[in-house]
Structure 1
Amino acid sequence: MIEYVVPGNTDPRVLERSCQILREGGLVAFPTDTSWSIGCALSSKQGIQNLRRLSGERDERHFTLLCHHISQIGEYCSLNNSQFRFIKRLIPGPYVFILRALLGTEKVLDIRRKEVGVRIPHHPVSLALGEALGEPLYSITAKRSMIRREGPDSFYYEEPSGSADEKGLPPIPEEELFEGGWELEDIPGIALILDPGEELPRWVSTVIDLTTEEPTLIRHGAGPWPV
């Protein structure tokens, strides 16, 4: 189902309905300052299972904790003064920051890696959704390979072409990304699409590792680098 929303003035009733879906384990698609994302509530085990099943990804670096304020990042990740200042300069914006997850976050996500990506996008709809929910969204970029290809209960996932080094992430081809919200209706498992009625750029975020001594580029995307 699509709900058309006004960026900067999203109907509170739509936000509340979205939050109810998320708390009950459902998936919601929403715009960001890069491409479309699909998210679940961090506190929902069922939602996390549904998101992972839909994505087909095995590498946790493809998933992101989408926050609405930098103070929220410190509730779920280890954040020192240097990291705080670095992030503060670049948010909100098209950047994902890799940080050490706190023990409670590791347990909730049941992740194999001790790091997690966090992001504060520069889009009023995604920020309003996160603020209304009161907790981070666990999210992933919406891709065309998520569309059902075989049978009513199966999900098809094809690893994007391209290579990455040990520290890098494989590129996401532009043709894998969506522009209009209506295009996401063919993705199975999405309960609601928040559509501002505008086409989004088919970009990915810039990913920066902050667990090393110096910030390290993992993937160059929409965010300028070096900064």
Structure 2
Amino acid sequence: MAKILSINPTNPQPRLIAQAADILRHGGVICYPTDTMYGIGCDIFNQKAIKRVYQIKRRPKDKPFTFMCDSLTNISQYGHVGNTAYRLMRKNLPGPYTFVLSGTKLVPKIMLTKQKTVGIRVPNHPVCLAIIESLGNPVLNTSAMPEDNDERVVRTADDVDHLFGKQVDLIIDSGEIVPEPSSVISLLNEQPEILRYGKGSLEAFQ
């Protein structure tokens, strides 16, 4: 069974954040809180760990996962950010948005779509941001829900443990999160395109 680590959602304890980052650094898979729901993730540079997440989620290999950065500066290392995209992201990040961008050469192939695009987030959650910063790399991001999403609501670390506890190395408990998917916005062209209506105001992108 996975170890459950309670981390304060507003003032994450650095010692505990370092423990979580260390598990990721050594190829571990963890469940962690975000601003939209509990997620499953690993270091995007560890192919073995990424393959584990594919197995856990029973996800087809031709559907790459999104990933999370800790800042807009961090995003621009992994996605090509034009002037319009930069302006929009600067105003709305961190927040519950997944932005689709053209990937840079730094992005591992396994994380790219056939069109060489990536989905990137900067979540508005102190625990999540602290883990990414401590690791020093982006973290893969997928919901801690079954791929078929059979309406089982996952709100707490106990819910996550019940579904995925035997398959992951660590579950971070930062209290209850009412799940609501991120809004997905393509910034591949000058005009933003809303691909999925989810959490967060979309006024700026219309």
Which of 179, 193, 199 is the aligned partner of 2:155? Answer: 179
RMSD: 1.8
- Please state how far the C-alpha of 1:46 moved relative to its aligned partner: 1.3
- Please state how far the C-alpha of 1:176 moved relative to its aligned partner: 4.1
Q: Which residue of 2 aligns with 1:221?
A: 198
Cα 1:113–1:25, aligned 2, differ >3 Å: closer, same or farther?
A: farther
In 2, distance between residues paired with 1:131 and 1:22?
12
Give the secondary structure class of the aligned counterpart of 1:105.
Answer: coil
Q: Is the 8 A contact 1:96 1:119 kept in 2?
A: yes
In 2, distance between residues paired with 1:81 and 1:212?
11
Give the secondary structure class of the aligned counterpart of 1:190.
Answer: coil
Give the secondary structure class of the aligned counterpart of 2:106.
Answer: helix
CA deviation profile, 1:77-116 (whole Å, cap 9, x unmatched):
1112221111111111111000000123143636434111
CA deviation profile, 1:8-67 (whole Å, cap 9, x unmatched):
322222222211211221111111111111110112111111112212223536x22101
TM-score (norm: length of structure 2): 0.89
Q: Is the 8 A contact 1:60 1:113 kept in 2?
A: no
In 2, distance between residues paired with 1:201 and 1:2?
19
Gaps of 5+ in 2: none
Which of 173, 186, 189 is the aligned partner of 1:195? Answer: 173
Q: Identity across aligned pairs (percent)?
A: 31
Q: Is the 8 A contact 2:70 2:138 kept in 1?
A: yes
In 1, distance between residues paired with 2:108 and 2:126?
28
Residue 36 of structure 1 pairs with residue 38 of structure 2:
yes
Q: Is the 8 A contact 2:75 2:120 kept in 1?
A: yes
Cα 1:83–1:142, aligned 2, differ >3 Å: closer, same or farther?
A: same
Which of 110, 122, 125 is the aligned partner of 1:123? Answer: 125
| Equivalent AA in structure 1 for residue 48 of structure 2 | Q
Equivalence map 1:13-24=2 (5 Å): 13-24=15-26
In 1, distance between residues paired with 2:186 and 2:112?
21
Q: Which residue of 2 aligns with 1:56?
A: 58
In 1, distance between residues paired with 2:106 and 2:129?
24
Gaps of 5+ in 1: 146-156, 161-172
Q: Is the 8 A contact 1:35 1:177 kept in 2?
A: no
TM-score (norm: length of structure 1): 0.81
Q: Is the 8 A contact 1:23 1:43 kept in 2?
A: no
In 2, distance between residues paired with 1:222 and 1:110?
24
Cα 1:128–1:83, aligned 2, differ >3 Å: closer, same or farther?
A: same
| Alignment coverage as a number of residue pairs | 199
Q: Is the 8 A contact 1:29 1:37 kept in 2?
A: yes
| Equivalent AA in structure 2 for residue 183 of structure 1 | D
In 1, distance between residues paired with 2:135 and 2:35?
19
Cα 1:93–1:192, aligned 2, differ >3 Å: closer, same or farther?
A: same
